[in-house]
Structure 1
Protein backbone atom coordinates (compact mmCIF):
# COMPACT_ATOMS: atom_id res chain seq x y z
CA UNK A 1 0.00 0.00 0.00
CA UNK A 2 1.21 3.47 -0.87
CA UNK A 3 0.49 6.07 1.79
CA UNK A 4 -0.77 9.49 0.69
CA UNK A 5 0.95 11.67 3.30
CA UNK A 6 1.05 15.40 3.92
CA UNK A 7 3.72 17.46 5.64
CA UNK A 8 1.59 18.55 8.62
CA UNK A 9 2.27 21.72 10.59
CA UNK A 10 0.32 23.41 13.39
CA UNK A 11 0.65 26.11 15.99
CA UNK A 12 -0.35 25.28 19.60
CA UNK A 13 -3.99 26.22 18.96
CA UNK A 14 -4.28 23.98 15.92
CA UNK A 15 -2.33 21.03 17.29
CA UNK A 16 -5.32 18.93 18.53
CA UNK A 17 -7.14 19.27 15.21
CA UNK A 18 -3.98 18.51 13.25
CA UNK A 19 -3.28 15.35 15.25
CA UNK A 20 -6.88 14.22 14.85
CA UNK A 21 -6.92 14.84 11.08
CA UNK A 22 -3.55 13.15 10.61
CA UNK A 23 -4.69 10.09 12.57
CA UNK A 24 -7.93 9.82 10.57
CA UNK A 25 -6.36 10.25 7.15
CA UNK A 26 -2.94 8.69 7.63
CA UNK A 27 -1.85 7.05 10.87
CA UNK A 28 -4.57 4.41 11.13
CA UNK A 29 -3.33 2.86 7.89
CA UNK A 30 0.23 2.34 9.11
CA UNK A 31 -0.76 -0.63 11.26
CA UNK A 32 -2.04 -2.43 8.16
CA UNK A 33 1.28 -2.07 6.34
CA UNK A 34 3.73 -2.59 9.20
CA UNK A 35 4.71 -6.02 7.88
CA UNK A 36 5.01 -5.01 4.22
CA UNK A 37 8.36 -5.41 2.48
CA UNK A 38 8.61 -1.65 1.99
CA UNK A 39 6.66 1.52 2.74
CA UNK A 40 5.32 3.48 -0.23
CA UNK A 41 5.13 7.24 0.26
CA UNK A 42 3.36 9.80 -1.91
CA UNK A 43 3.49 13.49 -1.02
CA UNK A 44 2.52 16.66 -2.85
CA UNK A 45 2.17 19.44 -0.33
CA UNK A 46 2.31 20.88 3.16
CA UNK A 47 -0.79 21.42 5.32
CA UNK A 48 -1.00 24.08 8.03
CA UNK A 49 -3.58 23.83 10.81
CA UNK A 50 -3.35 27.03 12.86
CA UNK A 51 -5.68 28.61 15.42
CA UNK A 52 -5.50 30.91 18.46
CA UNK A 53 -3.98 29.17 21.47
CA UNK A 54 -7.26 29.09 23.42
CA UNK A 55 -8.90 27.13 20.59
CA UNK A 56 -6.50 24.25 21.24
CA UNK A 57 -8.17 23.39 24.55
CA UNK A 58 -11.64 23.70 23.03
CA UNK A 59 -10.66 21.52 20.07
CA UNK A 60 -9.29 18.82 22.32
CA UNK A 61 -12.63 18.68 24.12
CA UNK A 62 -14.71 18.75 20.93
CA UNK A 63 -12.72 16.01 19.25
CA UNK A 64 -13.51 13.60 22.08
CA UNK A 65 -17.13 13.70 20.90
CA UNK A 66 -17.93 12.08 17.56
CA UNK A 67 -21.16 14.11 17.28
CA UNK A 68 -19.44 17.46 17.89
CA UNK A 69 -16.61 16.53 15.55
CA UNK A 70 -19.04 15.80 12.74
CA UNK A 71 -21.07 18.94 13.43
CA UNK A 72 -18.25 21.45 13.96
CA UNK A 73 -14.83 20.23 12.86
CA UNK A 74 -15.59 18.45 9.59
CA UNK A 75 -17.56 21.38 8.07
CA UNK A 76 -14.70 23.72 9.00
CA UNK A 77 -12.12 21.48 7.32
CA UNK A 78 -14.33 21.16 4.24
CA UNK A 79 -14.63 24.95 3.99
CA UNK A 80 -10.84 25.22 4.16
CA UNK A 81 -10.49 22.64 1.38
CA UNK A 82 -12.98 24.48 -0.85
CA UNK A 83 -11.20 27.78 -0.24
CA UNK A 84 -7.95 26.23 -1.49
CA UNK A 85 -9.39 25.39 -4.93
CA UNK A 86 -7.96 27.82 -7.52
CA UNK A 87 -10.38 30.33 -9.07
CA UNK A 88 -8.05 31.88 -11.64
CA UNK A 89 -7.39 34.82 -9.36
CA UNK A 90 -4.28 35.50 -7.31
CA UNK A 91 -4.50 33.72 -3.94
CA UNK A 92 -5.72 36.04 -1.21
CA UNK A 93 -3.24 34.62 1.30
CA UNK A 94 -0.26 35.31 -0.94
CA UNK A 95 0.81 31.65 -0.80
CA UNK A 96 2.18 30.13 -3.99
CA UNK A 97 -0.14 27.31 -5.08
CA UNK A 98 -0.40 24.65 -7.78
CA UNK A 99 -3.30 24.07 -10.18
CA UNK A 100 -4.79 21.77 -7.54
CA UNK A 101 -4.82 24.59 -5.01
CA UNK A 102 -2.06 22.90 -3.03
CA UNK A 103 0.63 24.93 -1.32
CA UNK A 104 3.82 24.85 -3.42
CA UNK A 105 6.03 22.57 -1.31
CA UNK A 106 8.24 20.17 -3.31
CA UNK A 107 10.45 19.64 -0.25
CA UNK A 108 7.49 18.31 1.76
CA UNK A 109 8.30 14.81 0.54
CA UNK A 110 11.48 14.92 2.62
CA UNK A 111 9.51 15.60 5.79
CA UNK A 112 7.09 12.73 5.22
CA UNK A 113 9.91 10.34 4.40
CA UNK A 114 11.67 11.29 7.63
CA UNK A 115 8.47 10.67 9.59
CA UNK A 116 8.00 7.23 8.02
CA UNK A 117 11.64 6.40 8.70
CA UNK A 118 11.12 7.25 12.38
CA UNK A 119 7.99 5.09 12.53
CA UNK A 120 9.61 2.13 10.75
CA UNK A 121 13.35 2.19 11.47
CA UNK A 122 15.34 0.36 8.84
CA UNK A 123 12.38 -0.44 6.56
CA UNK A 124 12.81 0.19 2.84
CA UNK A 125 11.07 3.33 1.56
CA UNK A 126 9.92 4.01 -1.99
CA UNK A 127 8.55 7.38 -3.12
CA UNK A 128 5.65 6.11 -5.22
CA UNK A 129 4.27 9.54 -6.20
CA UNK A 130 5.70 13.05 -6.30
CA UNK A 131 4.81 15.71 -8.83
CA UNK A 132 3.01 18.97 -9.47
CA UNK A 133 -0.07 20.19 -11.33
CA UNK A 134 1.10 23.13 -13.41
CA UNK A 135 0.75 24.42 -16.96
CA UNK A 136 4.23 25.93 -16.77
CA UNK A 137 6.69 23.17 -17.59
CA UNK A 138 9.65 25.09 -16.17
CA UNK A 139 7.84 24.94 -12.81
CA UNK A 140 7.63 21.16 -13.13
CA UNK A 141 11.39 20.95 -13.53
CA UNK A 142 11.89 23.19 -10.50
CA UNK A 143 9.48 21.08 -8.45
CA UNK A 144 11.12 17.76 -9.32
CA UNK A 145 14.59 19.20 -8.74
CA UNK A 146 13.74 20.46 -5.25
CA UNK A 147 12.01 17.20 -4.36
CA UNK A 148 14.95 15.13 -5.51
CA UNK A 149 17.34 17.31 -3.52
CA UNK A 150 15.31 16.64 -0.36
CA UNK A 151 15.32 12.90 -1.07
CA UNK A 152 19.03 12.90 -1.87
CA UNK A 153 19.87 14.54 1.45
CA UNK A 154 18.04 11.78 3.30
CA UNK A 155 19.83 9.09 1.29
CA UNK A 156 23.06 10.76 2.34
CA UNK A 157 21.88 10.51 5.95
CA UNK A 158 21.61 6.76 5.52
CA UNK A 159 17.86 6.31 5.09
CA UNK A 160 16.96 3.17 3.06
CA UNK A 161 15.27 4.98 0.15
CA UNK A 162 15.38 2.77 -2.92
CA UNK A 163 13.13 4.42 -5.49
CA UNK A 164 11.47 7.61 -6.73
CA UNK A 165 8.48 7.55 -9.11
CA UNK A 166 7.31 10.80 -10.65
CA UNK A 167 3.57 11.45 -11.02
CA UNK A 168 2.78 11.25 -13.76
CA UNK A 169 4.00 10.21 -17.18
CA UNK A 170 0.90 11.55 -18.99
CA UNK A 171 -1.45 14.40 -18.24
CA UNK A 172 -4.08 12.38 -16.40
CA UNK A 173 -7.69 12.49 -15.23
CA UNK A 174 -8.05 13.76 -11.68
CA UNK A 175 -11.09 12.34 -9.89
CA UNK A 176 -12.50 15.70 -8.77
CA UNK A 177 -11.00 17.99 -11.39
CA UNK A 178 -10.98 16.08 -14.67
CA UNK A 179 -8.28 16.95 -17.17
CA UNK A 180 -7.81 20.49 -15.84
CA UNK A 181 -4.74 20.04 -13.60
CA UNK A 182 -1.83 18.86 -15.75
CA UNK A 183 0.68 16.60 -13.99
CA UNK A 184 2.33 14.88 -16.92
CA UNK A 185 5.79 14.79 -18.38
CA UNK A 186 3.96 14.14 -21.64
CA UNK A 187 1.04 16.29 -22.81
CA UNK A 188 -2.07 14.68 -24.27
CA UNK A 189 -4.36 16.36 -26.81
CA UNK A 190 -7.75 14.95 -25.80
CA UNK A 191 -9.28 15.67 -29.21
CA UNK A 192 -7.02 13.23 -31.05
CA UNK A 193 -4.90 11.61 -28.28
CA UNK A 194 -1.66 13.03 -29.71
CA UNK A 195 1.21 12.83 -27.21
CA UNK A 196 3.81 15.60 -26.96
CA UNK A 197 6.94 15.11 -24.90
CA UNK A 198 7.56 18.10 -22.64
CA UNK A 199 11.01 19.54 -21.85
CA UNK A 200 10.55 18.29 -18.27
CA UNK A 201 10.44 14.71 -19.56
CA UNK A 202 13.75 15.12 -21.35
CA UNK A 203 15.26 16.82 -18.29
CA UNK A 204 14.02 14.03 -16.01
CA UNK A 205 15.31 11.41 -18.44
CA UNK A 206 18.76 12.99 -18.38
CA UNK A 207 18.76 12.89 -14.58
CA UNK A 208 17.74 9.22 -14.57
CA UNK A 209 20.35 8.21 -17.12
CA UNK A 210 23.10 10.10 -15.28
CA UNK A 211 21.90 8.65 -11.96
CA UNK A 212 23.08 11.73 -10.11
CA UNK A 213 21.61 14.90 -8.66
CA UNK A 214 21.13 17.71 -11.19
CA UNK A 215 22.77 21.08 -10.59
Structure 2
Protein backbone atom coordinates (compact mmCIF):
# COMPACT_ATOMS: atom_id res chain seq x y z
CA UNK A 1 0.00 0.00 0.00
CA UNK A 2 2.83 2.38 0.86
CA UNK A 3 4.53 1.69 -2.47
CA UNK A 4 1.28 2.45 -4.33
CA UNK A 5 0.86 5.64 -2.32
CA UNK A 6 4.39 6.73 -3.19
CA UNK A 7 3.83 6.02 -6.90
CA UNK A 8 0.62 8.05 -6.79
CA UNK A 9 2.38 10.90 -5.01
CA UNK A 10 5.25 10.97 -7.50
CA UNK A 11 2.87 10.91 -10.46
CA UNK A 12 0.79 13.70 -8.90
CA UNK A 13 3.92 15.80 -8.52
CA UNK A 14 4.70 15.28 -12.19
CA UNK A 15 1.25 16.56 -13.16
CA UNK A 16 1.27 19.47 -10.73
CA UNK A 17 4.76 20.52 -11.80
CA UNK A 18 3.18 21.69 -15.05
CA UNK A 19 1.65 24.59 -13.10
CA UNK A 20 4.24 27.36 -12.83
CA UNK A 21 5.22 28.23 -9.26
CA UNK A 22 3.28 25.41 -7.60
CA UNK A 23 5.01 23.70 -4.66
CA UNK A 24 4.32 20.04 -3.90
CA UNK A 25 5.12 17.62 -1.10
CA UNK A 26 3.42 15.41 1.43
CA UNK A 27 2.91 15.47 5.17
CA UNK A 28 3.80 12.79 7.70
CA UNK A 29 2.31 12.16 11.15
CA UNK A 30 5.54 11.83 13.12
CA UNK A 31 5.46 10.01 16.45
CA UNK A 32 8.88 10.81 17.99
CA UNK A 33 9.56 7.10 18.49
CA UNK A 34 12.26 6.37 21.08
CA UNK A 35 13.72 3.10 22.31
CA UNK A 36 13.82 2.41 26.03
CA UNK A 37 17.08 1.23 27.55
CA UNK A 38 16.34 -2.51 27.40
CA UNK A 39 17.74 -5.35 25.27
CA UNK A 40 15.89 -5.65 21.98
CA UNK A 41 14.28 -2.20 22.17
CA UNK A 42 16.56 -0.60 19.58
CA UNK A 43 15.82 -3.40 17.13
CA UNK A 44 12.09 -3.06 17.72
CA UNK A 45 12.36 0.71 17.23
CA UNK A 46 13.67 0.09 13.73
CA UNK A 47 11.09 -2.60 12.98
CA UNK A 48 8.15 -0.60 14.30
CA UNK A 49 9.13 2.99 13.62
CA UNK A 50 10.81 2.84 10.21
CA UNK A 51 7.73 1.90 8.14
CA UNK A 52 5.55 4.39 10.04
CA UNK A 53 7.78 7.50 10.03
CA UNK A 54 11.23 7.25 8.50
CA UNK A 55 10.26 5.52 5.22
CA UNK A 56 7.91 8.39 4.32
CA UNK A 57 10.32 11.11 5.41
CA UNK A 58 13.16 9.61 3.38
CA UNK A 59 10.97 9.55 0.29
CA UNK A 60 10.19 13.22 0.66
CA UNK A 61 13.71 13.88 -0.66
CA UNK A 62 13.50 16.01 -3.78
CA UNK A 63 10.05 17.38 -2.92
CA UNK A 64 9.50 21.12 -2.55
CA UNK A 65 8.53 20.67 1.10
CA UNK A 66 7.69 18.02 3.66
CA UNK A 67 4.91 18.49 6.20
CA UNK A 68 5.02 17.33 9.81
CA UNK A 69 2.05 16.52 12.03
CA UNK A 70 3.35 16.23 15.59
CA UNK A 71 1.68 15.96 18.99
CA UNK A 72 3.54 13.64 21.37
CA UNK A 73 6.30 11.05 21.80
CA UNK A 74 6.09 7.24 21.86
CA UNK A 75 8.46 4.92 23.71
CA UNK A 76 9.25 1.54 22.18
CA UNK A 77 10.18 -1.49 24.25
CA UNK A 78 11.35 -4.88 22.96
CA UNK A 79 7.67 -5.82 22.73
CA UNK A 80 6.62 -2.69 20.84
CA UNK A 81 5.02 0.67 21.76
CA UNK A 82 4.32 1.27 25.42
CA UNK A 83 1.52 3.21 27.08
CA UNK A 84 2.28 6.54 28.70
CA UNK A 85 4.09 6.00 31.99
CA UNK A 86 2.11 6.52 35.16
CA UNK A 87 2.40 9.96 36.71
CA UNK A 88 2.97 11.84 33.46
CA UNK A 89 0.55 14.53 32.33
CA UNK A 90 -1.72 13.37 29.52
CA UNK A 91 -4.17 15.10 27.20
CA UNK A 92 -7.81 14.29 26.48
CA UNK A 93 -6.63 11.88 23.79
CA UNK A 94 -4.52 10.01 26.33
CA UNK A 95 -1.25 11.22 24.78
CA UNK A 96 1.66 12.47 26.84
CA UNK A 97 1.86 16.26 27.22
CA UNK A 98 5.01 16.78 25.20
CA UNK A 99 5.61 20.19 23.56
CA UNK A 100 9.01 19.23 22.05
CA UNK A 101 7.21 16.87 19.63
CA UNK A 102 6.97 19.56 16.93
CA UNK A 103 10.68 20.40 16.92
CA UNK A 104 11.67 16.72 17.06
CA UNK A 105 9.41 15.96 14.11
CA UNK A 106 10.90 18.87 12.17
CA UNK A 107 14.48 17.73 12.87
CA UNK A 108 13.69 14.19 11.81
CA UNK A 109 11.99 15.37 8.61
CA UNK A 110 14.88 17.71 7.76
CA UNK A 111 17.53 15.05 8.28
CA UNK A 112 15.79 12.08 6.64
CA UNK A 113 14.56 14.04 3.61
CA UNK A 114 18.09 15.34 2.94
CA UNK A 115 17.22 18.91 3.93
CA UNK A 116 13.85 19.48 2.28
CA UNK A 117 12.14 22.59 3.76
CA UNK A 118 9.70 21.64 6.54
CA UNK A 119 6.20 22.91 7.30
CA UNK A 120 4.46 22.05 10.58
CA UNK A 121 1.04 21.20 9.17
CA UNK A 122 -0.49 20.09 12.49
CA UNK A 123 0.40 20.65 16.12
CA UNK A 124 -1.81 21.17 19.13
CA UNK A 125 -3.31 19.69 22.26
CA UNK A 126 -6.68 18.26 23.32
CA UNK A 127 -7.39 19.78 26.72
CA UNK A 128 -10.12 21.41 28.76
CA UNK A 129 -7.50 23.57 30.52
CA UNK A 130 -6.73 26.48 28.22
CA UNK A 131 -3.69 27.51 30.26
CA UNK A 132 -2.14 24.16 29.39
CA UNK A 133 -2.95 24.79 25.72
CA UNK A 134 -0.99 28.04 25.91
CA UNK A 135 1.89 26.33 27.73
CA UNK A 136 1.99 23.52 25.19
CA UNK A 137 1.90 25.82 22.17
CA UNK A 138 4.52 28.14 23.65
CA UNK A 139 6.79 25.15 24.24
CA UNK A 140 6.26 23.93 20.68
CA UNK A 141 7.08 27.34 19.21
CA UNK A 142 10.16 27.70 21.41
CA UNK A 143 11.37 24.37 20.05
CA UNK A 144 10.79 25.52 16.48
CA UNK A 145 12.77 28.70 17.12
CA UNK A 146 15.65 26.53 18.31
CA UNK A 147 15.40 24.36 15.19
CA UNK A 148 15.53 27.47 13.00
CA UNK A 149 18.62 28.67 14.88
CA UNK A 150 20.21 25.28 14.11
CA UNK A 151 19.84 26.07 10.41
CA UNK A 152 16.70 24.06 9.61
CA UNK A 153 14.46 25.73 7.03
CA UNK A 154 11.05 25.88 8.71
CA UNK A 155 8.44 27.25 6.31
CA UNK A 156 5.69 27.81 8.85
CA UNK A 157 3.47 26.51 11.64
CA UNK A 158 -0.23 25.63 11.51
CA UNK A 159 -2.01 25.08 14.81
CA UNK A 160 -4.57 22.32 15.19
CA UNK A 161 -7.22 23.51 15.45
CA UNK A 162 -9.08 26.79 15.05
CA UNK A 163 -12.34 25.24 16.31
CA UNK A 164 -13.07 22.36 18.65
CA UNK A 165 -13.58 19.59 16.12
CA UNK A 166 -15.09 16.15 15.60
CA UNK A 167 -12.08 13.94 16.34
CA UNK A 168 -12.56 10.65 14.53
CA UNK A 169 -13.86 7.84 16.79
CA UNK A 170 -13.47 10.09 19.86
CA UNK A 171 -16.23 12.41 18.68
CA UNK A 172 -16.40 15.88 20.22
CA UNK A 173 -14.77 14.98 23.55
CA UNK A 174 -11.13 15.92 22.74
CA UNK A 175 -11.16 19.72 22.47
CA UNK A 176 -8.23 20.86 20.32
CA UNK A 177 -9.64 24.25 19.36
CA UNK A 178 -8.59 27.81 20.02
CA UNK A 179 -12.30 28.59 19.65
CA UNK A 180 -15.16 26.87 21.49
CA UNK A 181 -18.65 26.49 20.04
CA UNK A 182 -22.09 25.86 21.53
CA UNK A 183 -23.60 22.61 20.22
CA UNK A 184 -27.12 24.08 20.31
CA UNK A 185 -26.70 27.66 19.14
CA UNK A 186 -23.39 27.14 17.29
CA UNK A 187 -22.14 30.38 18.85
CA UNK A 188 -18.36 30.56 18.64
CA UNK A 189 -16.29 31.86 21.55
CA UNK A 190 -12.55 32.48 21.21
CA UNK A 191 -10.63 31.06 24.18
CA UNK A 192 -7.82 32.97 25.93
CA UNK A 193 -5.40 30.82 23.93
CA UNK A 194 -6.83 32.27 20.71
CA UNK A 195 -6.09 35.80 21.89
CA UNK A 196 -2.60 34.76 23.04
CA UNK A 197 -1.87 33.03 19.74
CA UNK A 198 -3.16 36.06 17.85
CA UNK A 199 -0.71 38.31 19.69
CA UNK A 200 2.14 35.92 18.85
CA UNK A 201 1.12 35.96 15.18
CA UNK A 202 0.82 39.75 15.04
CA UNK A 203 4.20 40.22 16.71
CA UNK A 204 5.74 37.40 14.68
CA UNK A 205 7.48 36.51 17.92
CA UNK A 206 6.90 34.86 21.29
CA UNK A 207 5.86 37.67 23.62
Q: If the TM-score is normalised by the length of the shorter chain, which range does it land in?
A: 0.7 to 0.9
The match for 2:90 is 97
- Cα 1:156/1:40, change in 2 over 3 Å: same
The match for 2:102 is 109
Root mean square deviation, CA, Å: 1.8
Match for residue 121 of structure 1 among 114, 125, 147? 114
C-alpha distance in 2, partners of 1:109/1:193?
Answer: 31
The offset of 1:120, in angstroms, is: 2.4
Given that 1:109 and 1:130 are in contact with CA atoms closer than 8 Å, whether structure 2 keeps it comes out as yes
Match for residue 203 of structure 2 among 202, 210, 213? 210
Count of paired positions:
180
Q: Mind listing any 5+ residue stretches in structure 1 that lack a counterpart?
A: 52-58, 60-72, 85-91
The match for 1:88 is none
C-alpha distance in 1, partners of 2:71/2:157?
Answer: 13
The offset of 1:9, in angstroms, is: 1.1
The offset of 1:175, in angstroms, is: 0.7
TM-score by structure 1 length? 0.78
Match for residue 177 of structure 1 among 136, 150, 170? 170
The match for 2:141 is 148
Within 5 A, what are the aligned runs for 1:65-104?
93-104=86-97
C-alpha distance in 2, partners of 1:16/1:122?
Answer: 26
Q: Deviations over 1:19-73 (max 9, x none)?
A: 212123223323553332101001000111135xxxxxxx7xxxxxxxxxxxxx6
Q: Mind listing any 5+ residue stretches in structure 2 that lack a counterpart?
A: 1-25
Q: Deviations over 1:182-205 (max 9, x none)?
A: 000000112221111100000000
C-alpha distance in 1, partners of 2:191/2:180?
Answer: 7
Deviating beyond 6 angstroms after TM superposition, the runs of 4 or more aligned structure 1 residues are none
The match for 1:22 is 49
Q: Work out which structure has the larger RCO, using CA pairs closer than 8 Å and 6 or more positions apart in sequence.
A: 1
Given that 1:41 and 1:125 are in contact with CA atoms closer than 8 Å, whether structure 2 keeps it comes out as yes
